[in-house]
Chain A
Amino acid sequence: MSDLSQPTPEVALARRRAAGWGDLVLRQPLAVSGAAILFCMVLAALLAPAIAPIDPLFLDPLRRLRPPNEINWFGTDQFGRDVFSRVVYGSRVSLIVGASVAVLSIIIGLAIGLVAGYVRWLDVLVMRIMDGLMAIPGVLLAIALVSLSGASLLTVIVAITVPEVPRVVRLVRSVVLTVREEPYVEAAIAVGTRLPLILVRHVLPNSIPPLIVQATYVCASAMLTEAILSFLGAGTPPEIPSWGNMMAEGRLFFPIAPRIVLLPGIALALTILAVNVLGDGLRDRLDPKLAKRV
């Protein structure tokens, strides 16, 4: 008969998992709450029609600038549109822009950074170009790009990606420069491994953890830039409800109805905070060297 005091492997695994989750909450309460807030935001964005049944674009001239009531939880704006619906739908724009810019700039930055870090003659040229791009204020470059190529969600995403890429390139390059001096890379070269294989097998895995951390920061910064562009009038087209657009349109009525400006502002700040806190938690876990420095 087996010893009953010893749990079966399945039970042990389940216990370890439960302990792992509890442990995570205890050790990184901020990061976990950030992830939870973000999860709710994603849920709200996906289920927007169910959560906010009033059409965010529906104009009701008879119900303009109403204070919060049982139909319009956050009241209505100067055109009689439901502010709650618009805030809920606004999460879609921020999340789409944040995620797309993060993925795009990581992919582009990774490709350029790997090549720059490994091909010496290209390195100088590429890094000078990146230094130049980084010297141009990102917000200004993005507004100029959007305004020159016409506002649409796609141009906003591309315009925000351009100033983010150099930062990713720098990060990837610095990883490449450290990894290429490692004995195992030297060994790989010695046995005749070709360059593409070295990059994929040795350099790439080393750059993944810092890149995941960087991706969260890029995402937060992209959501911020999108809101700034929309707020300044050169971002997401005004007919799409985004938090920046709502604040821009509501600012004239700020003294009468501050909630039209403040509520989307709170949603924006909360989302960016959640992503940043999640990023800090990931950094502490995935990239201890960086965590020590900052």
Chain B
Amino acid sequence: MLAFIANRILSTIPVMAVVAFVVFLLLRLSPGDPAAVIAGDYATAEQVERIRSQLGLDLPIHTQFVSWLGRILRGDLGVSIFSNLPVTTLIAQRVEPTLMLALSTIVFSILVAVPLGVLAAWKANTWIDRAVMVFAVIGFSVPVFVLGYFLIYGFALGLNWFPVQGYRSPFDGLGQFARHIALPTLTLSAIFIALIARITRATVLEVLSEDYIRTARAKGQIERKVLFQHALKNAAVPIVTVIGLGIALLIGGVVVTESVFNIPGLGRLVVDAILKRDYPIIQGLILLFSFIYILLNLLIDITYTFLDPRIRY
């Protein structure tokens, strides 16, 4: 068990190395002189030179990579070119809204999708099942920002139930927080609910044909317990897997949702940085998001061994 976990943790190192290398290359791959690009069209030669030495672009490329990697490993993501603030400080300022949005989305999606998937599997090939599946296909196809605008149109502008945009911290009052986070959560959840409901339906459907389900029903177990204790428990591994895969979707979705609802989170930070070509922020945030993705998938792999003791790698 411990050996497996240690092994799995070690296996993330080459992946992270590749991520670091790609992120490092991003700046160097861009055609032309990155320092001149950052400085803009109206910069003087001295300004370009200052940015060049600030980014260490005047050093040989392998030296640049080694010193950059060394700083990353010490937790130093560099300094923003435009605001002159450390990237870690900027991340710390913006992390709360993103974290809240991601958490509320994951919790809401699982609460809605898993019962929906179980219901569809239980009522397989009825109109309930078909309705859930049609909803899943639609939820998977409607782009996050399109859905976001429709929800704003209906619930914020039309019915006036929720504010159109913005974010309030839960520490300044839960009511306002809930009112502001409701529409973004609903927007971002659609694709997640579709994904989780689909996989839940498929795996529960498979498990329901197993012998032990027939046994449970034969001994007179009530249907609710058959579904949620016997079937769902055995369907847990694929469901957890798909939640892990969904993390990538979630990160992409957060960036877009924050733009639609004007939420000052990490997504907005990275989009603004990309539009202004603030390389240290771009690099720092892509690294951070990739790191979170790798870490969460590592945790999910480890939870497998608890969910299904047969799994060993």
Our verdict on whether A and B bind, yes or no, reads yes
Q: How far, in angstroms, from A272 to B139 measured CA to CA in the complex?
A: 11
Indicate whether A148 sits within 8 Å of B277 (C-beta atoms), given known contacts A131-B18, A139-B255, A247-B149: yes
B142 touches A136 (CB 8 A): no
Contacting residues of chain B (161-191) with chain A, CB-CB under 8 angstroms: 164
Could you tell me which residues of chain B, from 244 to 258, have a CB within 8 Å of some CB in chain A?
Answer: 248, 251-252, 255-256
Q: In this complex, which of A129, A133, A143, A268 has the most chain B Cβ atoms within 10 angstroms of its Cβ?
A: A143
Q: Is the CB of B18 within 8 A of A261?
A: no
Contacts of B18 in A (CB 8 A): 128-129, 131-133, 135
User: Does A59 lie at the interface of the complex (its beta carbon under 8 Å from any beta carbon of B)?
Assistant: no
- The interface residues of chain A lying within 8 Å CB-to-CB of B256 are 139, 228, 231-232
Please name all residues of chain A whose beta carbon is closer than 8 Å to the beta carbon of B255 when the two chains form the complex.
137, 139-140, 232
Question: Given A135-B294, A139-B255, A140-B289, A227–B149 Cβ distance below 8 Å?
Answer: no
CB neighbours (8 Å) of A232 from chain B are 255-256, 259, 271, 274-275
CA distance A268 to B147 in the complex (A): 11
Could you tell me which residues of chain A, from 51 to 100, have a CB within 8 Å of some CB in chain B? none
Query: Which residues of A, 99-152, contact B by the 8 Å Cβ criterion?
Result: 128-129, 131-141, 143-145, 147-150
Complex Cα distance A269/B259, Å?
A: 19
Compute how far the CA of A277 lies from the CA of B17 in the bound complex, rounded to whole angstroms.
38
Residues 6-33 of B at the A interface (beta carbon under 8 Å): 14-19, 21-23, 26-27, 29-31
Q: Which residues of B contact A30 (CB under 8 A)?
A: 137
For the complex, is B150 an interface residue (Cβ under 8 Å from A)? yes
A293 at the interface (CB under 8 A from B): yes
**Chain A contacts for B19, CB-based, 8 A:** 132, 135-136
* Residues of chain A with a CB closer than 8 A to B22's CB: 132-133, 136, 141
Also in contact, A144 and B282, with CB within 8 A (given A135-B290, A276-B141): yes
Partner of A268, one of B146, B270, B275: B146
State whether the Cβ of A41 lies closer than 8 Å to any Cβ in chain B. no
Residues on the A chain within 8 Å of B145, using CB: 227-228, 231, 247, 265
C-beta contact mask, B198-219 vs A, less than 8 Å → 1, else 0? 1100100000000000000000
Smallest Cβ-Cβ distance to A139: which chain B residue: B252
B103 located at the interface, meaning its Cβ lies under 8 Å from any Cβ of chain A in the complex: no
The verdict on A280 contacting chain B, using a C-beta distance below 8 Å, is yes
Q: Which of B29, B30, B202 contacts A293 (CB 8 A)?
A: B202
- B286 an interface residue at 8 Å Cβ cutoff? yes
- Residue of A129, A135, A227, A277 near B143 (CB, 8 A) is A227
* Interface residue total, chain A, C-beta cutoff 8 A: 47
What are the residues of chain B within 8 A of A268 when measuring CB–CB?
143, 146
Is the CB of A233 closer than 8 A to any CB of chain B?
Answer: yes
In the complex the two chains form, what is the Cα distance from A149 to B27 in whole Å?
A: 10
The complex places the Cα of A198 from the Cα of B90 at a distance, in Å, of 54
Q: Are A136 and B141 in contact (CB under 8 A)?
A: no
Q: A238 → chain B, closest Cβ, in Å?
A: 12
**A26: interface (CB < 8 Å):** no
Between A129, A228, A232, the greatest number of chain B beta carbons within 10 A of the residue's beta carbon is seen for A232
- The answer on a CB contact under 8 Å between A224 and B137 is no
Q: Kindly state the separation between the CA atoms of A3 and B289 in the bound complex, as whole angstroms.
A: 74
Q: Which residues of B contact A227 (CB under 8 A)?
A: 143, 145
Q: Is chain A's binding surface mostly helix, strand, loop or mixed?
A: helix
Q: Does A191 contact B (CB under 8 A)?
A: no
Does B299 sit at the interface, judged by CB under 8 A?
Answer: no
Quick one: which of A132, A148, A251 contacts B27, CB cutoff 8 A?
A148
A residues within 8 A CB of B153? Answer: 254, 258, 262
B120 at interface by CB-CB < 8 Å = no
Tell whether B65 is near chain A: CB-to-CB under 8 Å. no
Within 8 A of A (CB), among B124-164: 137-138, 140-146, 149-150, 152-153, 157, 164
State whether the Cβ of B304 lies closer than 8 Å to any Cβ in chain A: no
Q: Nearest chain B CB to A260's CB is how many angstroms away?
A: 10
Top 10 closest A-B pairs, CB basis? A132-B18, A265-B146, A148-B30, A273-B141, A139-B252, A137-B251, A269-B142, A135-B290, A272-B141, A131-B15
Q: Which residues of chain A have a CB within 8 Å of any CB of chain B?
A: 30, 128-129, 131-141, 143-145, 147-150, 220, 224, 227-228, 231-234, 247, 251, 254-255, 258, 261-262, 265-266, 268-269, 272-273, 276-277, 280, 293-294
21 A–B pairs (Cβ distance < 8 Å), ordered by A: A128-B15, A131-B14, A132-B21, A135-B16, A141-B286, A144-B274, A149-B29, A149-B30, A220-B141, A224-B143, A227-B145, A228-B144, A232-B255, A233-B271, A234-B274, A258-B153, A261-B149, A269-B142, A272-B142, A277-B141, A294-B198
